Chain A
């Protein structure tokens, strides 16, 4: 559970830079996550690449695709952007459902992740690995978000024209944020593929992007670690519910509505407000 929370947390942290900071929505991150996962799975399983190389390759190809897709798409604004990126997610999903990529049963027999001969084949070792990566990347994202780059993203978020007059290349700022978040999604995808040993298209549909949104807004957009908190809560939820598991979707839907209406800053934003009042 914690491993999956970490993997999804990783995507959300990058997603926050794109949406929370830069103000650009993407409903196609399930596609980017899928490309990372499939690239790694194919490289290790079919071609016998070592894990690290396969992960790097997965990130590279995902970034490349994000770059090419991002240039025309990120010119769109608001819900046009949301729908266009969603279209991208559908295309990827359609592609991984073809028989060339394993069809609906996906790819199985993915070897465990191994680095320099050490194989992360137990849950505990993988848990440490994932959370070390999450920890490092949260720091990296904070350093991007809370310095000049993050400020230029926030400037683009509020007023693109005024930002441009400050010498900020608006198009480049958006593309960079999109590609960077794609890299994190791809890395998460690679970790996901290695952990599960089997991947299938059902794990990469639009619901994943929707869950990302929920995690981000539940925890608090524009804070980096907020999304991580959101991911943890969402993954902890089924455990607490026990046999009431069927309520999960209902509760998530309710959370979505209540958060956006009463706590637009998410849990982190709400907490900050509470602290400031005292």
Chain B
């Protein structure tokens, strides 16, 4: 195709009689920050769930790096290079902070029983590589020094950053961030923005669902607007800000925020 990394073709999704997504098409170019905005219930998270294989009951086609991943299982999609975070933080509470990030490395380490049992040297090397990379990712999001903390001792803002670190540990080429800014204070928001820009420098494409318009307008290269499961607009931040329809259904008085 072209240098796009993710394409959606005519994606429709029903929950019973309710149409959550209606023939949505989109193309995400490699390396960009692609944002999806829209009112609550517009189908943003639903779309994330379809892309990451969480939900495989939908019509249409999802293509990642020119390869169809439609209806693939989530772990298969993850291994291909798609990582995600969750709207409601979903960390592994029985693991420490560092271990959570280490789990993210699973896809490219693919640990084996035989190695763990018989090859002490290789298994130690593997463990060292994982731990080093995981610490690096923790430092990347500014959580260094919290390696052995319990997940639940972290503040919500830190937990959201930890989720990003865990997703980045998978060495993804596409990162799906589901409302990374929800519940963050101003200082944490600035930090998040910096992390998103740093991630972009590493040539990782990011698709972001977010409500904070200030963040969206600052970071996005391309914005898609959904309303009741239908795409109503797409374009660069400026064109979205001036789009009559978008102002009508979503931005409204929020416009002056941006």
Known A-B contacts A144-B117, A147-B126; the reply to A161 vs B74 at CB < 8 A is yes
Q: How far is the CB of A216 from chain B (nearest CB, A)?
A: 16
B105 within 8 A of A: yes
Instruction: Please indicate the chain B residues that have their CB under 8 angstroms from the CB of A77 in the complex.
Output: none
- B94–A168 contact, CB under 8 A? no
Q: Is B95 positioned at the interface, with any CB of A under 8 Å from its CB?
A: yes
A159–B123 touching, CB < 8 Å: no
Cα-based distance from A257 to B99 in the complex (angstroms): 32
A180 to B114, CA, bound (A): 11
List residues 163-183 of chain A with CB under 8 A from any CB of chain B. Answer: 163-170, 176, 180
**Measured between C-beta atoms, what is the minimum distance from A265 to chain B in Å?**
11
The CA of A152 and the CA of B99, in the complex, are separated in Å by 10
Partner of A154, one of B79, B83, B92, B130: B92
Q: Which residues of A contact B111 (CB under 8 A)?
A: 147-149, 152
* Most chain B C-beta atoms within 10 Å of own C-beta, residue among A163, A168, A170: A168
Contact A143 B54 (CB under 8 A): no
**Secondary structure at chain B's binding surface: helix, strand, loop or mixed?**
helix
Q: Are A147 and B127 in contact (CB under 8 A)?
A: yes
CB closest chain-A residue, reference B86: A162
| Distance in angstroms between the alpha carbons of A176 and B113 in the assembled complex | 9
Given contacts A143-B123, A144-B116, A154-B95, contact A165 B106 (CB under 8 A): no
B79 contacts which chain A residues (CB < 8 A)?
167
Evaluate contact between B109 and A148: CB separation under 8 angstroms. yes
**Is B102 located at the chain interface by the 8 A CB criterion?**
yes
Distance between Cα atoms of A31 and B239 in the complex (Å): 67
Contact of B102 with A151 in the complex, beta carbons under 8 Å: yes
Chain A interface, DSSP helix/strand/loop, else mixed: helix
CA distance in complex: A154, B103 (Å): 9
Known contacts A148-B130, A176-B113, A180-B113; is A166 also within 8 Å of B90 by CB? no
A167 touches B107 (CB 8 A): yes
B93-144 at interface with A (beta carbon < 8 Å): 93-95, 99, 102-109, 111, 113, 116-117, 120, 123, 126-127, 130
CB-defined A-B contacts under 8 Å, sample of 21: A144-B113, A147-B116, A148-B102, A148-B109, A148-B130, A149-B113, A151-B99, A151-B106, A154-B99, A155-B103, A155-B106, A158-B94, A158-B95, A159-B90, A162-B90, A164-B53, A165-B75, A167-B75, A167-B78, A168-B75, A176-B113
Residue positions of B touching A, CB distance < 8 A: 52-54, 73-75, 78-79, 83-84, 86, 90-95, 99, 102-109, 111, 113, 116-117, 120, 123, 126-127, 130, 166, 170
